[in-house]
Chains A and B, each alone.
Chain A
Amino acid sequence: MVEEITNTHPKFAVVGHPNKGKSSIVSALAMDDSVQISDTPGTTVKQRSFPLKVDGKVLYELFDTPGFQRARRVLAWLEKHEVSADKKQDVVKAFINEHENDERFNDEVQLLEPIMAGAGIIYVVDASKPYGSEYEAEMEVLRWTGQPSMALINHIDESDYSVEWKRALEQYFKMVRTFNPMQTSLSQHVNILESMAQLKEEWIVPIKSSIALFESYYEQMLERSASLVTRLVYESTSLVEKLGFDTEDASDEDKEQIEGNYKNRLRELEHHTQEIIEQVWNHDHLQIAQENLTFDGMDLFSEETASVFGLTQKELIVTGATSGAVTGAGIDLLFIGHTLLLGSAIGAVVGGVGAYFGFKELAEVKVLGRTLGKKYLQMGPMENRNFPYILLGRALYHTSRVSKRSHALRGVADLEMNSTFKEKWLDDDLKKSLEKYHKVFRSGKEIELEILKEYEVLIQGVLKKLVGK
């Protein structure tokens, strides 16, 4: 039986010919990468609801539906019932009721049900392929439902037949919009929602609040990512690895082992953060579809990663010197310039030299005594000044890619990395600001929450710049 409308939240059924990207559009609009998408017709066998919920309250609902399989037959059945326009909906309902258990019309019943339960129609076509008369039966059937409708032009391939499509679609739909589910952005998402709101007057308010919510959701995701990246940089830089040994002196194997453990811990931290960031952006299935979005084969400690994400030796020296000079300038200020700005000069030299020597080594392996006569090796906190930049660069790169990745994409992402990424986010002022915090992180001391918060704000700013809207 066709359900009567029981609640007033807006509903939209995404319908169309098979293989025209309905599921991709739903996947992108619902930010759900679990939807099965393939080029085989009939992949979607049942209608599926994707509600936008806030604390359990549904603001609007999207329905992914199977494509039309026997549109001409449905139309023929409908047209057998010659009725006035106001009774056409009843005929469609009668069709659903009569064919509910008819295997032949399973797909049509599945797609018509939400429409007859009050859902607005979003008819999806692929304008990279020519228009054909076989679509007319589908559009006629939809017209019989009497529900508000719009057409969404998708471009699966590069060819463009949108002019002829628009001409045809405008005969049946009062609104025709273009949407590329493979390149979603917040603004594109918002535009489509605004168009959907126009379908029915009473949907304008709930959809407008949904848009506001989406924007704050987006902010939330950015904020969470920034917080995770901050934690990663802090925890990795201040990480200390220990390894006990019973002999008089630590052997080379022990030293190799602790270095291996230390590096693995850092890799784990990075990988774990990447996974959570993927979850934050609703890309839970990413790691199932592909091992790891980024850095496959590009190890955290490789020369390649250092050259792509890290600072150059010269940049490190300049940043170290500037940061040292800032500390020295504090001393100068304290003595109201009576030091003849010697503090700045000495600070710059000390900072610069520290940076130069800190380019290759990660952290010194120290042998420390322990009570009851045992000794242990300790590695960390990180001494390499370049490391936080490398780690941060990788984390920002990963986050920006994940956040921009459409939920409709299913293939393995083609990642091209080059040093230009660094230029997109890191300038001299930011380097100075970051170095101040990296220095604190490297000290290994317990740091105050406010400091992490300040760093997080910096990272959030960078992410906003990288991700945009």
Chain B
Amino acid sequence: MHLKSYLNLHELLANDSASREENRAFGLAHILLKNKPIAQLVAWQEEHSAKLKQPSTSEKFTSYLYGVTLTLVILAFILGLLSGIGLLSYSGHEPVNVIYFIAMVVFFPLFTMSLTFFSMIRANSAQSLLVHISPAFWMEKILSLLPNKIQNVMKEIKINPLLLNWIVIKRSQLIALFFSLGLLVALLAMVVTKDIAFAWSTTLHVTPEAFHSFLKSIAFAWRDFFPSAVPSIELIERSQYFRLGDKLSEEMINNASKLGEWWKFLAFATLFYAVLLRFFMYLFASFGLNRAIKKSFLTLKGANSLLKEMNEPIITTRAVNDEERFVPTEESYVQIVHTLDTSYDVVQGWAISKEQLVVLNDSMSVIAPKFFEVGGANSFEEDNEIISKSHGEVLFFVKGWEPPTMDFVDYLQELSHNVDKVIVVPVGTAENNYEIKQSSIDVWDRKFSQLAEEKIWLKR
């Protein structure tokens, strides 16, 4: 699990890199990963990473991170080296007090490692204060003030703050490790190149026995394997130094060669506390970062929807092809009759029985000698016979709620060829006293506007 995968996924999700169909196809092709969301996301990211424009944000970011880390690591090593040299330098007046060095290679690492440990526990909190006191955090802040094109890119990347905490923690461990290595190298180099007179001195009333016991406990990790790397009580007694008198004691001068024996203890203390334990902290931080990356995969915006798209079947109910759009005519029919005459030559009804036609005539105060039911259950022969019997002006009742079908239009056109005038009267239902809705008449109007028949009139 790499930061690069996380950033690639972040970018791919932001770019909406695959369609729902592609994602589902991917889910089906990797069905074994179905219940492993992180593995699914990683595999998906790998599949689509070629779609990212080069150099990708992840490459820019990891190269920036690598550059900053390398700079900080070199600086930390140099700082460690210089600190080591400073701590081990013999002024010519006073011997080198090992307590300073022990503080630097044992207590300072233990203290910072404790802080790191707490910051690891608190790393899941977005604004962990302990992360803010990390040197890596502040050194990067300082670096970010430098003019750099990459800073603009960095502003665009929104990394989960929890992940950022872990990045800072891991990097701090690496920096501290190289600082400690600098100290170790300085110690070894000084021991090899100089004759250092080690001593110990404290204002506190500490007996050599107590100090010996204290050092022995510090050396618990190696005292059984390398007993020579634990200072003996004699060495401790001989190397105790009091500043009063401004002179080295005779005993110290006589045993000058033995005082150098301290270096083994210091080297092992550095190796164990500053280097080895720090290395473990570094491994622990790497593990934590990996876990945070995994966790952050699922918090990425769009990751959840992507997983749903991969795992849920695509259900579609829609038409495959586009509809052939029908454009209704906007024209109005011009041959309109507003009032009916009192008599007509023939009255016809489209699928309206003779009995109903009589009632309709009465209700509209119209008289006619002939009534015919046409269409409906009639055969074409029956309809043709009615047409042949029709002449003059025909009042033609139709069910206004039924739209005009082509069957009706065919008949109407046939009829119009045989008579002088046809007035089509759409009527409503008997329950509504044959009154018809305006919208229903409009349907008839639109249909008639498509006919070019001079003899056909519409009653509105």
Contacts and interface: CB of A to CB of B under 8 A. Distances in A.
A224 B304 CA distance: 10
**How large, as a class, is the contact surface on chain B?**
35 or more
A48 B323 contact: yes
A41 B447 contact: yes
B351 A54 contact: no
Given A55-B24, A449-B299, A136 B405 contact: no
Interface stretch (A26-34, A311-319, A322-330): A26-34
Interface of B: 24, 28, 124, 126-127, 145, 160-162, 298-299, 304-305, 308, 312-321, 323-326, 328, 350-351, 375-377, 379-380, 399, 401-407, 410, 429, 431, 439, 443, 446-447
Nearest to A39: B443
B410 A70 contact: yes
Contact of A35 (B145, B315, B323, B447): B323
Nearest to B126: A446
A128 to B, nearest CB: 9
Nearest to A447: B126
26 contacts: A19-B443, A29-B317, A30-B318, A30-B319, A34-B318, A34-B323, A35-B319, A35-B323, A40-B403, A42-B326, A46-B323, A50-B318, A52-B317, A53-B315, A53-B317, A55-B24, A56-B314, A64-B319, A67-B405, A68-B405, A107-B406, A133-B351, A134-B350, A227-B304, A446-B126, A449-B304
Contacts of B402: 17, 19, 129, 132, 134
A27 to B, nearest CB: 10
Given A69-B406, A72-B407, A136-B377, A53 B316 contact: yes
A358 interface: no
Contact of B431 (A42, A159, A282): A159
A46 B326 CA distance: 10
A44 B403 CA distance: 14
Given A36-B325, A45-B326, A449-B299, A54 B315 contact: yes
A132 B376 contact: yes
Contacts of B447: 40-41
A72 B383 CA distance: 12
A6 interface: no
B315 A52 contact: yes
B401 A129 contact: yes
Contacts, number: 141
Contact of B405 (A34, A55, A70): A70
Nearest to B405: A69
Nearest to A66: B326
A424 interface: no
Contacts of B350: 134
A133 B160 contact: no
A104 B403 CA distance: 17
A67 to B, nearest CB: 8
A69 B315 contact: no
B318 A48 contact: no
Interface residues of A, number: 58
Contacts of A354: none
Interface string A316-345: 000000000000000000000000000000
B128 to A, nearest CB: 11
Nearest to B376: A133
Given A129-B429, A133-B351, A136-B377, A220 B317 contact: no
A30 B28 CA distance: 25
A104 B320 CA distance: 27
A213 interface: yes
Contacts of B318: 30-32, 34, 50, 282
A217 interface: yes
Contacts of B312: 220
B351 A45 contact: no
B411 to A, nearest CB: 9
A68 B407 CA distance: 9
Given A36-B323, A129-B401, A449-B299, A104 B406 contact: yes
A18 B317 contact: no
A71 B161 contact: no
- Return the 10 tightest CB-CB contacts between A and B, nearest first: A41-B403, A69-B406, A133-B376, A446-B126, A133-B377, A134-B351, A32-B318, A19-B403, A30-B317, A40-B328
A132 B398 CA distance: 12
A41 B404 contact: yes
Contacts of B24: 55
Nearest to A59: B315
Given A55-B28, A104-B406, A132-B402, A446 B319 contact: no
